[in-house]
């Protein structure tokens, strides 16, 4: 496939729930992160249920951006307003239950995330398996960075493939452990440095 193919993006509504959820489950059923869920079919079923709930939450306190190749939905990005997520204990537990095997790594990740102002959490970037390795995930990150230019986008990453996508669009990467990373839109660190300079000047 042509890795330079231009994609179309649009925000999804409730009518896309089944399609978006299926894509997410298909995308992650072979991810080692979810091996604890069982075999491939068990993982698909668990992930379908999980991302169905996640989609509903995104519709309420975030967004789901569709990735279209011509008119065909081939992927989506799940995003959440982190401040609103923290305020809702039920939603917070649903979203981060999948991280339960990472213990201390997740707690350290939270220590970074909780210090963010105006944070938006990239829960998942999903691309249908047959359309992976075409650069579409990287294009999607670039697009959400553009669309959410006023937000401090961040994510947790546990695999080299995803890490590579964020590197290509110059996100800042903090290693938490050998298998867990915190990634952050680069402008946040720039803004933080500018705030520090301003505060020092005012003193």
Identify the domain containing residue 64 by its residue range.
8-202
1 in any annotated domain: no
2 in any annotated domain: no
Query: Could you give the C-alpha distances from 53 to 12, 48, 96, in angstroms and in order?
Result: 15, 9, 12
Whether residue 79 contacts residue 185, with contact meaning beta carbons closer than 8 Å, is answered with no
Counted domains in the chain: 1
pLDDT in tens, the chain (203 residues): 444 578 999 999 999 999 999 999 999 888 777 777 788 888 899 999 999 999 999 999 999 999 999 999 999 999 999 999 999 999 998 988 766 555 678 788 888 898 898 999 999 999 999 999 999 999 999 999 999 999 999 999 988 889 999 999 999 999 998 878 999 998 655 544 444 334 443 44
CA atoms within 13 A on the CB side of 89: 0
127 in any annotated domain: yes
3 in any annotated domain: no
Q: What is the pLDDT of residue 30?
A: 81
CATH of the domain at 58: 3.40.630.30
Q: How far apart are CA 108 and CA 161, in angstroms?
A: 22
Whether residue 166 contacts residue 183, with contact meaning beta carbons closer than 8 Å, is answered with yes
Q: What is the pLDDT of residue 111?
A: 87
């Amino acid at each position: 496939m042509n890795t330079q193919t231009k994609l179309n993006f649009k925000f999804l509504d409730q009518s896309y729930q089944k399609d978006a959820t299926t894509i997410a489950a298909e995308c992650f059923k072979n991810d080692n992160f979810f091996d604890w869920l069982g075999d491939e079919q068990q993982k698909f079923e668990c992930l379908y249920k999980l991302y169905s709930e996640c989609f509903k939450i995104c519709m309420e306190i975030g967004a789901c951006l569709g990735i279209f190749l011509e008119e065909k939905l081939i992927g989506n990005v799940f995003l959440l307003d982190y401040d609103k997520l923290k305020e809702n204990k039920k939603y917070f537990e649903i979203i981060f239950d999948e991280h339960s095997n990472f213990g201390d790594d997740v707690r350290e990740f939270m220590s970074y995330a909780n210090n963010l102002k105006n944070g938006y959490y990239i829960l998942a970037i999903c691309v249908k398996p047959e359309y992976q390795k075409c650069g579409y995930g990287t294009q999607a990150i670039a697009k959400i960075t553009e669309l959410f230019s006023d937000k401090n986008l961040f994510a947790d990453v546990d695999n080299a493939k995803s890490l590579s996508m964020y590197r290509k669009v110059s996100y800042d990467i903090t290693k938490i452990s050998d298998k867990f990373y915190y990634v952050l839109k680069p402008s946040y660190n720039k803004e933080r440095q500018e705030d520090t300079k301003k505060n020092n000047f005012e003193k």
